[in-house]
Structure 1
Amino acid sequence: MEAPKTIAHEIGGVRADALRFGLQGVKSEIVGSHPLESAYQSLKDNQEDMKRRMLANTYGSAFPLKMELDRQILSRFQRPPGPIPSSMLGLEALSGSLDEFGFEDCLNDPRDSESFRPLDMHHGTEVRLGLSKGPACPSFM
């Protein structure tokens, strides 16, 4: 039997295509950007869990399940890849994040950054249809 003459470009289920996705850093995938980020995320998860338990005690166990189903449906609804980004307004209204004012609201738009990479519409559609692997929109270099 002959050995295959092709080199596998897939590492860990993700295609290692440096031209399309840029160079991958292992440290950035393992460690968060700041130590407070993990504390903030755990606080947010604890608050959501407490809210879910409170709703289950008040309205019954089916109500949090219905809200989770609505959240899953609204998180999947997106525009096709293109010049107009998905706003996820329904998900923000359901989660209550429309009422919050975070640091991302007062800083500049990330698309104005010099390191922003324009969207490849064809690759985004391939990822959506399951023809290609990788992030649908690798936005930054």
Structure 2
Amino acid sequence: MEAPKTIAHEIGGVQNDALRFGLNGVKSEIIESHPLQSASHSARKTQAEMKRRILANMYGSAFPMKMEMDRQILSRFQRPPGAIPSSMLGFEALTGGLEDFGFEDYLNDPRDSETFRPSDMHHGMEVRLGLSKGPACPSFV
């Protein structure tokens, strides 16, 4: 029996679409970009868990559950991919992100860069609906 002469691939798959998403590296999927990033991530997790315990002790166990439900609802509310990005203002107000002073506040928003590639609205909706795989918006050229 003769083998088929076509190459099987996933439509929109990350590993086979190097022109759209760039080349993949195994190392970047396993470890984070910097050791301080993993330490910061674990410290944030610990701080959030302590805050949850304090709220449960003060107001009862239903209050942290309600806050978690609100957090999940507000994290899902987004605009469709396109020219105007989602600001996630409600989510930032709930999690305290409005008080954080990040690098984009004093340097520049990365989306304003000249090398920023605008998102493909059709591909973003395919990813959101589960018809395609990969990031909804590849960021830079």
Give me the TM-score of the superposition, normalised by structure 2.
0.88
Structure 2 distance, partners of 1:28, 1:104, is 23
Q: Which deviates more from structure 2 when the two are superposed, residues 91-100 or residues 103-112?
A: 103-112
- Measured after TM superposition, the shift of residue 39 of structure 1 is 0.8
Is 1:57 aligned to 2:57, yes or no?
A: yes
Q: Which residue of 2 aligns with 1:44?
A: 44
- Measured after TM superposition, the shift of residue 132 of structure 1 is 1.1
Indicate if the aligned counterparts of 2:15 and 2:24 stay in contact, CA closer than 8 A.
no
Q: How does 1:1-141 map to 2 (within 5 A)?
A: 3-10=3-10, 14-141=14-141
**Closer, same or farther in 2 for the Cα pair 1:4/1:72, shift >3 Å?**
farther
* Number of residue pairs the alignment of both structures matches: 139
Structure 2 distance, partners of 1:8, 1:64, is 48
Q: Which amino acid aligns with 2:126?
A: E
- Measured after TM superposition, the shift of residue 15 of structure 1 is 4.8
**Which string of whole-angstrom CA distances, capped at 9 and with x for unpartnered residues, describes residues 107-128 of structure 1?**
2111233432221111011112
Q: Is there any run of 5+ residues in structure 1 with no aligned partner, and where?
A: none
SS of the equivalent of 1:94 reads: helix
- Measured after TM superposition, the shift of residue 2 of structure 1 is 5.5
**Which string of whole-angstrom CA distances, capped at 9 and with x for unpartnered residues, describes residues 12-38 of structure 1?**
x74521122121122222222221111
Q: CA RMSD for the aligned pairs?
A: 1.8
Q: Which deviates more from structure 2 when the two are superposed, residues 87-96 or residues 20-29?
A: 20-29
**Closer, same or farther in 2 for the Cα pair 1:7/1:54, shift >3 Å?**
same
Q: Is there any run of 5+ residues in structure 2 with no aligned partner, and where?
A: none
**Closer, same or farther in 2 for the Cα pair 1:5/1:94, shift >3 Å?**
same
**Which string of whole-angstrom CA distances, capped at 9 and with x for unpartnered residues, describes residues 65-122 of structure 1?**
1111111111111001111000000100000111121223212111233432221111
Structure 2 distance, partners of 1:113, 1:73, is 31
- Greater RCO between the two (CA within 8 Å, min separation 6)? 2
Q: Percent identity?
A: 79
